[in-house]
Every structure is written in structure tokens, then in C-alpha cells.
Copies of this chain bind each other. A is one copy, B any other.
Amino acid sequence: MGNREAAEIMNAPTNDKNMLKALAGEKQARPPFWFMRQAGRYLPEYRATRAEAGDFLSLCYNPELAVEVTLQPIRRYHMDAAILFSDILVIPDAMGQTLAYKEGEGPQLEPVRSSADLDRLETGRITEHLQPVFETLKGLRRELPPEVTLIGFAGAPWTVATYMVEGQGSRDFANAKSWAFSDEAGFARLINMLVEATTEYLLAQIEAGAEVIQIFDTWAGALSETEFNKWCIAPVKQIVANLRAKYPDIPVIGFPRGAGAGYANFAAQTGVNAVSLDTSVPLEWARDNVQTSCAVQGNLDPLLVVAGGEPMRREANRILETLGNGPFIFNLGHGFVPQTPPEHVEELSELIRNY
């Protein structure tokens, strides 16, 4: 049995899962929930596994430990979905770009800034290099409770390109934008390489058992409308089309973080099944301008879960009330921060489950 057939059996209709119902456009009395960065440093058991693994990339590429950290929050809080533990920069890593994570400093890459640099990237070993990720997904499908949906993910081309070009995190993305403005064809070549690599990577994730795909465009908010159409909407739309050509029913969640009023166009144009809203998005606006195109996911301020108590409960209820009348997945607007008390996550999870 080939990967394709195996995936078709594993991905056979499972419409009894809350998460998949929401992504199919169904409103639910009790919306499904999961949390960005739900496997992370706020959990003591994560910190222990992380210490065992060594550096961050070693954890991403160790299927046994990556399965373990993905399952940890599910055991505690019984979310409706588990997201693969990995990193958006495994794609440049698989392309042979030098990548290192220095503790407390974020990723460091040897920058790619010219056509000659692009020529040196390897595009033929994505699937081979990322085998450990697919092993993690297969392990998760074996281990996850049947009602929990498995989400695979990748970074969107623009966001991955910013790291590849800047070589690190950036405030203004001066190198990436300067390249895009002064040599649009050259920069488009990088984006197209990333569309292809990401398609290949996500298809293999689906074949390994991912039931939903989320595409993270973390730095979409740095783009003007013209750039947003060109470097966020168009490549994400292409990836969605590529995935659907092979898996017509695979649900995709897009997260163009910071897109502001641009969320409406993103929802209407990319073909995604859901849009993940960052914390800044006004709820009634999202209900009237985004949820009209697709499901929405979000958008509690992760700092409210640090505070906990009445302010957290009030805002969580407001989100549930405003967005819960349409297809909706409760989530944060951005990932948990390390100082989040695990007992506040418990309180929040119970609030949503009992809604």
C-alpha cells in the first residue's frame, strides 16, 4: 500500500470530530478549541523533555520526543486538536541553508540575498530531509485519542523568506523588502521555490496523517496592500490549490498575522477553510467581514492567560458569544508565553468545554 492510499484510509471521513465540523462550516453549541504554542515552555514536562533532547532543532527532528511534547498538553487539557511539534524553519534547513538556534536569541541563518544564493539551495531533498517530521505525524496518529484532530503546519512563503533573507528576526524586513522592490523577479523566484517546497512538505504531512493544515504568515502585517496581495495572498492561494489538487477535502487554516482590514480579502481570496485571527482583530468586524467567507479561529490575548481570573473569563466569554454563532474554533491570538501558569490554561479549557 503506497503512502497515498494509506493516507486516504487514515483521512477517511471523520466528521464526528468537532474541529473538522467547524472547518466544514458548521456552527457548534460548544466550539472546538486548541491553543497556539500549547506544547511549550509553560509546561514543566515540556521543559524536561526539551532538556533531554538538547537543542530546539534536535527536538523537532526526534520523532519520539516530538510526539511526547505534542501529547503533553492534550493529556492535561483535552483540547480538540493537537498541532505537530516542529518549526517553520525546517524548510530552509531542508534546503541546505545553515540554521542554528542560539538560546534566547532566536534563529540565525546564513542569509540568502541573490540569485546566486538561490542557485545554491537544494530543492530535491525536502521529503527525505524531513522524514523525522513525518514519523512524528505517524506516531501522533497512533497515539492521539480518536476525537482529537491532528494539525500539520508550515510557514507561509513570505514569512519563511524573511528569515531566509534577513538571516534572523527583523523589525522592518529591510533586506527582504529591498530585494522584492529592486529585483521583483529574483525575489519571486525565492517565493516560488518556497511555494513548491511547502506544497511538497505539506502533501507529505497529509500522507503521514495530518488531518488539517495551518499556514502561518507571522509577518504578513509588515506588508502594504500591494505587497500583501503579491507575497501573502497569491502564494498561500497557490499552496491551497496545490494541496486541493491532490486532496480536495483537506481543510486549511490561514494565519496572516497583523493583516488588519486585509483579513477580509485573505479570507475571500485564498480558498482557506478558516482564518486564524490575531489578538488585535475586533470581534464584530471579524464576524461581519471574515466569518462571512469561512470559519474563524482565535483570538484571546495570551497575556490574559498569564493574568487569569475574571478578566480572562470575561474576554473568553465575549469571544465565544460574538464568534460562536458561526463556524468557530476557540484559540489564542498568538502563542502562549513561557510565564503562563498551567492552572490558568486548565481554567480556560474548562470554561470553553462547559460553554
Contact = CB atoms under 8 A, between A and B. Distances in A.
A340 to B, nearest CB: 10
Interface string A252-294: 0000001111111100000000000001111101100100000
11 contacts: A177-B306, A177-B307, A181-B312, A182-B311, A224-B279, A224-B299, A224-B300, A224-B315, A260-B261, A260-B282, A261-B289
A173, A222, A263, A312, most chain B CB atoms within 10 A:
A222
A281 B222 CA distance: 10
A302 B228 CA distance: 15
A301 B177 contact: yes
Interface in A162-192: 172-174, 177-178, 181-182, 184
B259 A280 contact: yes
Contacts of A222: 279-280
Given A178-B307, A262-B282, 20 more contacts: A172-B303, A172-B337, A181-B303, A181-B307, A182-B307, A182-B311, A223-B279, A223-B280, A224-B301, A225-B282, A225-B283, A226-B315, A258-B280, A259-B260, A260-B261, A260-B263, A260-B280, A260-B282, A261-B263, A261-B286
A172 B332 CA distance: 14
A260 B281 CA distance: 7
A121 interface: no
A304 interface: yes
A-side interface size class: 35 or more
Contacts of A301: 177, 224, 227
Given A174-B306, A177-B301, A265 B282 contact: yes
A280 B228 contact: yes
Copies of this chain in its oligomeric complex:
2
A225, A282, A334, most chain B CB atoms within 10 A:
A225
A318 interface: yes
A139 interface: no
A258 B260 contact: yes
A292 B201 CA distance: 45
A63 interface: no
Interface of A: 172-174, 177-178, 181-182, 184, 221-228, 258-265, 279-283, 285-286, 289, 299-304, 306-307, 309, 311-312, 315, 318, 333-334, 337, 339
Contact of A280 (B224, B300, B303, B309): B224
A2 to B, nearest CB: 44
A285 B262 CA distance: 9
A289, A300, A303, A333, most chain B CB atoms within 10 A:
A303
Given A225-B282, A265-B282, A282-B225, A303 B177 contact: yes
A339 B260 CA distance: 28
